[in-house]
Copies of this chain bind each other. A is one copy, B any other.
């Protein structure tokens, strides 16, 4: 029996992930052919900077295109892999061109998908090809496949994840070393772990891109990045981390998506999570995701969220699926069947919170804060005031609230900010316990 014809791949972008993908495809050619029943063959590549020769792979004998969009149109490829990055520009053009020419698209580009995923999925459906993006979320962890296929029997109640390795690395290192945010960020940039412009990571935007995709997959609605509430981690201080630990918590930047009463809540912000929770243990650059299914209960997935080989592993998994003939709508359902998302605004949240006030160490401050909180029916579970003055002579007053309304917190924080002894804007970090997910 002769082997079926090869599955031809055009590779746009030969950076970290592109290089990792090419490396795996070349090194594992026989391995993959055995498992797919046909060869996975790189037939063209495009990269502005490279010459197709890197330490980890050599594409110098494979046809090169200066223009990636031209490659997407002309190369004899079954699938085009887009690893250029960016929301608009060449990345988008490559995907659109490939789909228009009836080629599958595999991409790791969460920003592009969060903004244009639906349009691309529709373009793919029109041509009867696939848009695949396992690599766009949580690197090498097969979370897209798990949500779309492995948990297909489940209506998801929530998806909660640590989805950005840079933020998790910074928070983990702050907890370990006690160094301030800015020092660790600067070091990470020097070491190449964090981008020169780190705002996508530390402001929570990258997490929000991924969360919007996860939520669409989990709940079967249209991707709606614009309704994601987004806060970053830049305001977190070593003081917060120390106090959180004293209270039995870790601070993590989470993406949280919940569906209830026909609405979907999507939010990205720092959280205090119990030290005993699975998510608290995800350290360093790792990612971790908890999915609450109505039939299977909670399942948890953890692993490398970034890196050329880990992310390349996910790109190759998508290519292998396509080579074996797997055909799937990009977001679990055909675009026409996806429900419009009705957002549940974060202002409707009810939950506990950690509040940190910086105030001059004078009598009556705690009483004044307590008064502001009680006016909004916010009751205090714990008050910590250890009296370590900082350089400005301020001391932190830490309050953990009982469950309360988000909007009451906003008002109370406004009124406390007006207390004369207050030396900084108060900081609020939400406490999330995922108690509903403990029972399986």
- B300 and A313 contact, CB distance less than 8 A: no
Interface string of A140-166 (1 = CB under 8 A from B): 111001100111111100000000000
Q: A300 CA to B278 CA in the complex, in Å? A: 11
Which residues of chain A (281-299) have a CB below 8 Å from chain B?
281, 285-286, 293, 295-299
- A296 and B325 contact, CB distance less than 8 A: no
- A153 and B312 contact, CB distance less than 8 A: yes
Contacting residues, chain B, for A302 (C-beta < 8 A): 278, 299-302
Q: A330 CA to B281 CA in the complex, in Å? A: 34
- A312 and B295 contact, CB distance less than 8 A: yes
Q: A240 CA to B302 CA in the complex, in Å? A: 30
Q: A131 CA to B301 CA in the complex, in Å? A: 26
Contacting residues, chain B, for A141 (C-beta < 8 A): 296, 299
Shortest distance from the beta carbon of A310 to any chain B beta carbon, whole Å: 5
Asked whether A309 and B295 contact (CB < 8 A) given A278-B281, A317-B151, the answer is: yes
A428 CB–B CB distance under 8 Å: no
A53 CB–B CB distance under 8 Å: no
Contacting residues, chain B, for A326 (C-beta < 8 A): 326
Known: A139-B296, A298-B304, A300-B300. 6 other contacts (CB 8 A): A140-B296, A145-B149, A149-B321, A152-B316, A153-B317, A300-B301
Interchain residue pairs A-B with the least CB separation, the first 5: A142-B150, A140-B296, A299-B303, A153-B316, A300-B302
Where the two chains meet, the residues of A that have a C-beta atom closer than 8 Å to any C-beta of B are 20, 24, 28, 31-32, 34-36, 134, 139-142, 145-146, 149-155, 220, 278, 281, 285-286, 293, 295-304, 307, 309-310, 312-314, 316-317, 320-321, 324-328, 332-333, 337, 440
